[in-house]
Amino acid sequence: MSPVTNGINGHDFSVESLADKILSRVESKDPFFSLEFFPPRTEQGAANLIGRFDRMRAGGPLFVDITWHPAGDPGSDKITSSTKIAGTVLNYCGLDTMLHMTCVKQTKETIKKNLEKTKNLGIRNILALRGDADESWGYQEGGFNYGVDLVRFIKQEYGDDFSICVAGYPNGHPDSTSYQDDLLHLKEKIDAGGQFIITQLFFTAEEFLTFVKDCREIGINCPIIPGIFPIQTNRSLVQLTKLSKLSIPEEIQKVIEPIKDNDAAIRKYGIDLATDMCRTLLNSGKVHGLHMYTLNLETATIQILKNLGLWCQDVAKPLPWKTSANPERRENETVRPIFWCDRPKSYIHRTQGWDEFPNGRWGDSASPAFGELKDYHLFFLRSRTAKDKLRSLWGKELTSEADVWKVFKHFITGAVNENGVKVTETPWNDDGLSPETNVLSSTLSRYNELGVLTINSQPNVNAVPSTHPIYGWGDKGGYISQKAYLEFFINKHYAEALKTVLPKYHPRVNYHMINKCGTTDHTNADRSNPNAVTWGIFAGKEIIQPTVVDPVSFIVWKDEAFGLWHERWASLYEKGSKSQEIINNIADNYYLVNLVDNDYPADSILWEVLDEMLAASQKVDLGKKSNGVCAENGTQKIEELQIH
83 makes contact with ligand FAD (CB under 6 A): no
Contact residue for ligand FAD among 115, 129, 335, 498 (CB under 6 A): 129
Q: Looking at residue 374, what DSSP letter applies? A: T
303 makes contact with ligand FAD (CB under 6 A): no
582 makes contact with ligand FAD (CB under 6 A): no
Spatial distance between the Cα atoms of 290 and 227, rounded to a whole number of angstroms: 7
Spatial distance between the Cα atoms of 1 and 402, rounded to a whole number of angstroms: 40
Annotate 26-80 with three-state secondary structure: HHCCCCEEEEEECCCCCHHHHHHHHHHHHHHHCCCCCEEEECCCHHHCCCCCCCC
The smaller minimum CB distance to ligand FAD, of residues 173 and 483, is found at 173
Query: Which of these segments, 129-137, 215-223, 254-262, 328-336, binds ligand FAD (CB under 6 A)?
Result: 129-137
User: 422 forms bridges with which residues in the sheet?
Assistant: 416
The active-site residue out of 16, 27, 36, 257 is 36
Report the nearest approach of ligand FAD to the CB of residue 131 (Å): 4
Query: Which of these segments, 66-74, 211-219, 379-387, 530-538, binds ligand FAD (CB under 6 A)?
Result: 66-74
Distance of CA 156 to the CA centre of its chain: 34
Query: Which of these segments, 63-71, 324-332, 379-387, 574-582, binds ligand FAD (CB under 6 A)?
Result: 63-71
198 makes contact with ligand FAD (CB under 6 A): yes
Please enumerate in sequence order all residues whose Cβ is within 8 A of that of 397, keeping only pairs 6 or more positions apart, or say none: 578, 579
Strands 591-597, 509-515: pairing kind: antiparallel
* Segment (H or E) for 163: strand 163-168
Task: Return the residue nearest ligand FAD (CB atom).
Answer: 147
The smaller minimum CB distance to ligand FAD, of residues 67 and 233, is found at 67
367 makes contact with ligand FAD (CB under 6 A): no
| Single-letter amino acid code for the residue at 249 | P
* Inter-residue contact 215 to 180 (CB < 8 Å): no
Q: Residue 140 to residues 69, 109, 164, 177, 497: CA-CA distances in angstroms? A: 22, 15, 23, 19, 78
In angstroms and rounded to an integer, the radius of gyration of the C-alpha atoms of the chain is 28
Active site residue 372: no
176 makes contact with ligand FAD (CB under 6 A): yes
Spell out, one character per residue from 132 to 151, where the chain touches ligand FAD: x when CB under 6 A holds, - when not.
Answer: x-------------xxx---
Contact residue for ligand FAD among 175, 314, 331, 603 (CB under 6 A): 175
18 makes contact with ligand FAD (CB under 6 A): no
Spatial distance between the Cα atoms of 205 and 199, rounded to a whole number of angstroms: 12
102 makes contact with ligand FAD (CB under 6 A): yes
173 makes contact with ligand FAD (CB under 6 A): yes
25 makes contact with ligand FAD (CB under 6 A): no
67 makes contact with ligand FAD (CB under 6 A): yes
Annotate 290-334 with three-state secondary structure: EEEECCCCCHHHHHHHHHCCCCCCCCCCCCCCCCCCCHHHHHHCC
Contact residue for ligand FAD among 57, 84, 100, 267 (CB under 6 A): 100
89 makes contact with ligand FAD (CB under 6 A): no
Contact residue for ligand FAD among 10, 40, 60, 70 (CB under 6 A): 70
Residues in the chain, total: 644
Residues that bind ligand FAD (CB under 6 A): 67-68, 70, 100, 102, 127, 129-132, 146-148, 167, 173, 175-176, 181-182, 185, 189, 198, 200, 227
Catalytic residues: 36
